[in-house]
Structure formats: C-alpha cells, structure tokens
C-alpha cells in the first residue's frame, strides 16, 4: 500500500508569522475580556485541555499562566509542527494533526476542554465533519469553545478595511469555506448532541480603533 507525505509550507516567514499570531491573540483576548467563555473551573481538579490549531502554543502558555497552581494537562496540535516550542514545559505536549483527518482513537472522549480559534476556514468545504470530529474529543460534561470570524464589518471602518474583508471572503469562497459558518455552527453542535450551546458575538477593535495604545499598533 502506497502512502503519501504532504509537507506543509506556510507562505509567511516563520518569525513574522509567529509575531502576527501573537498580535492576533492579544487583540482577540482583549475583545473577549479573557481567554474563555466556557463555564470551566480552572482552579480545582486538574483538567485535560486541547488547543487545536495551536501554532506556537501562545494560547496554551497564556492559559497555563492564568492558573499556575493547578497541574492541568495541555495538548497542542497543528497541521504545521515547525512552530512547536522546542522545549515545552512539563504537562504540555504538541502533536501534528490535520483537522480534516481522524484524531487518535485514544483521544476521543478524553478532553475537559477542546479549544480552536480561526481554523475552520482551513477545512474548506469539510467544515462540518471537522467540527463533529472535534466534538468526539470532548468527555461527558466537558466543553468545546470554537472561535471564528464573521468577516462582517461594523460601521466606522474605512474603504481599505472593507476591501480587505471582501478579498478574504472571495478567498474563502474559492476554498469552498462556508461564509455562513457562524450561523450554522450552533446547529451542528446541537445535532452532535451537545447541550447549553451558546453563541456570543464580540467586536474586534483593529488598529487605531482600539483604545489601548499598545493594541492599536497590533491589529
């Protein structure tokens, strides 16, 4: 049986991409007023936490820093392992994973929290199956938190930003991605048997629109 290994080459230079993702992390965290909407107690019993699409693990490190006294287990996955930290801290592991492929069987039903941010567009036309595979990883009583962009701008944005968002929508359409993902996502989760499904819309203050001087230079 023949097998094929596909090497993923990201178009941006590594250091610049890591900086871009770190800036994006800060802006999203600011808009959310934190890292989690999931009703999860991070101060008690140690939990098993997955960050899908982790890149260099920024989200994991930030979450771990918020609860240093609890021995949570963190797992980060990404299609491109080249950004994984060389020497991750104890209780943190990284593994290559494509969201459009099956996850390790032993991971199913094993996570208290499954987190993924701005990755489903990469699923192209296979977004729903990708979501259902993520749901399979959540243990009974656990949580899944999926963060995606609507690509709909509020009033006050200029012509350049609107042109950029229009271009991104064209790219996602070519990829076969669902531009109404945020409308469909709650139904997919309920169809998978999840309860207490909630959707929350937050507005990202990008560039000079952000009142925080530091973040105003990062969006």
16-30, 91-105, 169-183, 185-199: the lowest-pLDDT one: 169-183
For the cut 50, the answer to whether the pLDDT of residue 4 exceeds it is: no
For the cut 70, the answer to whether the pLDDT of residue 76 exceeds it is: yes
Are 180 and 150 in contact by the 8 Å Cβ rule? The answer is no
Q: What is the pLDDT of residues 10-56, one digit of tens each?
A: 556 788 889 989 999 999 999 999 999 999 999 999 999 999 999 99
| Domain spans, the chain | 23-216
Q: What is the pLDDT of residues 11-21, one digit of tens each?
A: 567 888 899 89
- Looking at the domain that runs over 23-216, which CATH code has it been given? 3.40.50.150
Name the pTM for this structure. 0.88
């Amino acid at each position: 049986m023949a097998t094929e290994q596909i090497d993923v080459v990201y178009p941006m230079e590594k250091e610049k991409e890591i900086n871009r993702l770190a800036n994006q992390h800060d802006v999203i965290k600011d808009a959310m007023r934190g890292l989690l909407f999931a009703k999860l107690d991070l101060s008690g019993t140690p939990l098993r936490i997955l960050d899908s699409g982790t890149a260099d693990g920024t989200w994991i490190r930030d979450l771990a820093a918020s609860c240093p006294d609890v021995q949570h287990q963190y797992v980060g996955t990404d299609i491109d392992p080249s950004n994984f930290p060389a020497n991750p801290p104890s209780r943190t592991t990284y593994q290559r994973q494509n969201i459009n492929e099956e996850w390790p069987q032993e991971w199913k039903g094993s996570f208290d929290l499954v987190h993924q941010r701005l990755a489903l567009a990469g699923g192209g036309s296979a977004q729903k199956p990708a979501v259902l595979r993520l749901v399979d990883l959540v243990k009974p009583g656990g949580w899944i938190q999926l963060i995606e962009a609507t690509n709909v701008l509020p009033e006050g944005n200029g012509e350049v930003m609107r042109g950029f968002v229009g271009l991104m929508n064209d790219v996602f359409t070519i990829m076969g991605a669902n531009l109404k993902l945020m409308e469909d996502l709650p139904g997919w989760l309920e169809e998978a048997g999840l309860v207490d499904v909630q959707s929350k819309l937050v507005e990202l203050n990008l560039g000079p629109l952000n009142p925080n001087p530091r973040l105003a230079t990062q969006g």
